[in-house]
Amino acid sequence: MNKPTRPQGKPQSKAQKPAARPNPNQKPAGPAKDKPKTHVATDASRRRQHNAHAASQVMDEGEEEMLQMVALATAVAAGEPDAGGRRVGQEELERMVRNCLRQRDDETLYEALEQLRYDNRRGHGLLLDVAEETADVVLLRRGEKEMEINAFLIPFLARTRGGLRQEQALADGDAFDALRASLQDAGLESPKARVVLVHHLYHPEEIGALTYGDVEAMNRDAFASLTDKKVMSVPAIERSMRGWPDGAFGADDEVLELRFLLGFALKDLNDPFYAIPADEAGADAYFEQRAAHFRSWAEKYTPLMQQCLTGKPAGQVQCELHFMYQDLFHGAKRTGNAEYRTLQMLSELEQGLAQSGVAAGDADAVFAVAEDDGEAVLQVVLRAGARVLARSEQVLDGDAQEQLFDAADAVSSLGVAGFRLADAIDADGGTQRERDFPRS
């Protein structure tokens, strides 16, 4: 199930939060009705009346725009794609989303996604894809030339003693410059593209706090800085660096943490490096080659990344790294968070097995996808007969069925014997409508 992920995190100031849409049912402020008849309207009172009426009008227009977006996404999703994969009305839907992001009107977009999540799953999935791509990939013009700029992330897991320290991460300027250059040297980006990395290592809470409008604005910041020598500030990018939350790790604690490298790639629309073959076999080969380049990059430049994280040569630090895959902002965000949650789930289940004294081969796993405060949650319990040995829960972000099968594959690595599926699992481990686990 595709679910819009509202930004999470704790901005450092109220100005950093997306503006809340006024309540359309709230009575607009204005001159009191019980004024005495002797009241004489002044210029100030007339302005108050005008402003109150204008606020009400804005609320009505915002609600109407949201409903139009919902209706259009529903209609477009119901249509059949043409030979190019486009549907009737898709261009208009994309235009509506672009306007929302340019106007920093995230609330309309999130409200439309929330309504579609309950009313029309296909429409929800389509609008979610359009919102993510519109934020991640921006087409802009410089003179007569139209160009494309992409926001991308490289998520990775770092296992250290005592945890990563923000003041050390990427503090070595020379090592950081070499890391940026490595993306093109290793063939992850075109030699003709202009590629930058943000000189800040992002915590998952910082990434989660960014709205669609934030990411689109950051793309525009990066475009301006790469094409205009006079640009001195990048306010949207600067706002994104909220800082890491306080860690509570001891110096000897073994810690596994998720972090993100954020970068931008400015490219010509006709750069052959990014041209995906039209035929399926050619496209598969293209993406396999990109994946091979990434694996090679990760292996070759892990020592450099260790130096970037700690400020020390790789041989002098205890820092184990696991890179995932470079992708557009929202795709990489999902990949990183899903991988981290899966590892947390396995850790909780392994700990429960160890405490119970029961071997994994003598345990069965039961899975359920439930709703908790509007969020889809994957529940997992391990049991031996009627005895509950371990349990874990994780929030789902994306396709629920796909993540269910991924979780089952991960749990199978523990050596668990059997798998079952239920509609829900209660606090005591009891299940509702339990049955055999489906085949993928």
**Per-residue model confidence (pLDDT) at position 6:** 52
| 379 beta partners | 368, 393
30 is a domain residue: no
**Per-residue model confidence (pLDDT) at position 417:** 83
Q: Please state the φ and ψ torsions of residue 247, each to the nearest 5 degrees.
A: -90, 155
Residues 376-417 pLDDT 10s: 899 999 999 989 999 999 988 878 888 899 999 999 999 998
28 is a domain residue: no
Task: Among 94, 117, 137, give the residue marking a domain's end.
Answer: 137
Whether residue 178 is found in the same domain as residue 296: yes
Count of domains forming the chain: 3
CA nearest to 72, candidates 48, 103, 99, 34: 99
Whether residue 231 is found in the same domain as residue 293: yes
Q: Report, as an integer, the average pLDDT of 123-131.
A: 96
Q: Do residues 345 and 410 make contact, with C-beta atoms less than 8 angstroms apart?
A: yes
264 is a domain residue: yes
CA nearest to 350, candidates 335, 360, 338, 337: 360
Whether residue 253 is found in the same domain as residue 355: no
Residues 158-188 pLDDT 10s: 999 999 999 999 999 999 999 999 999 999 9
Residues 49-102 pLDDT 10s: 555 555 555 556 778 999 999 999 999 999 998 888 899 999 999 999 999 999
**Per-residue model confidence (pLDDT) at position 18:** 41
Whether residue 391 is found in the same domain as residue 408: yes
Cα angle 330-332-334, degrees, rounded to a multiple of 5: 70
Residues 264-273 pLDDT 10s: 999 999 999 9
Eight-class DSSP state of 272: G
195 is a domain residue: yes
Sign of the CA dihedral running 338, 298, 411, 318 = negative
Whether residue 281 is found in the same domain as residue 319: yes
Q: Report, as an integer, the average pLDDT of 33-41.
A: 42
**Per-residue model confidence (pLDDT) at position 405:** 92
**Per-residue model confidence (pLDDT) at position 197:** 97
Residues 181-235 pLDDT 10s: 999 999 999 999 999 999 999 999 999 999 999 999 999 999 999 998 887 799 9
Whether residue 119 is found in the same domain as residue 153: no
Whether residue 320 is found in the same domain as residue 402: no
Whether residue 133 is found in the same domain as residue 48: yes
pLDDT above 90 covers a percentage of the chain that reads 70
Whether residue 72 is found in the same domain as residue 221: no
Burial class (CB in 10 A: 0-12, 13-18, 19+), 130: buried
332 is a domain residue: no
Q: Do residues 76 and 89 make contact, with C-beta atoms less than 8 angstroms apart?
A: yes
Eight-class DSSP state of 19: P
Q: Do residues 155 and 324 make contact, with C-beta atoms less than 8 angstroms apart?
A: yes
Residues 310-333 pLDDT 10s: 988 867 778 999 999 999 999 999
Task: Among 293, 325, 357, give the residue marking a domain's end.
Answer: 325
For the chain, the average pLDDT equals 87
22 is a domain residue: no
Pairing of strands 254-268, 145-161: antiparallel
Whether residue 193 is found in the same domain as residue 319: yes
Task: Among 106, 137, 168, give the residue marking a domain's end.
Answer: 137
9 is a domain residue: no
Whether residue 162 is found in the same domain as residue 270: yes
CA nearest to 109, candidates 120, 96, 118, 119: 96
In order, the DSSP letters of 61-98 are HHHHHHHHHHHHHHHHHHSPP-TTS--TTHHHHHHHHH
pLDDT above 70 covers a percentage of the chain that reads 86
Q: Please state the φ and ψ torsions of residue 328, each to the nearest 5 degrees.
A: -55, 160
| 307 beta partners | none
Whether residue 157 is found in the same domain as residue 302: yes
Contacts of 130 (CB under 8 A, 6+ apart): 73, 90, 93, 94, 97
Q: Do residues 271 and 190 make contact, with C-beta atoms less than 8 angstroms apart?
A: yes
Residue-range definition of the domain harbouring residue 274: 143-325
Torsion of CA 126, 129, 130, 136, to 10 degrees: 180
**Per-residue model confidence (pLDDT) at position 53:** 53
3 is a domain residue: no
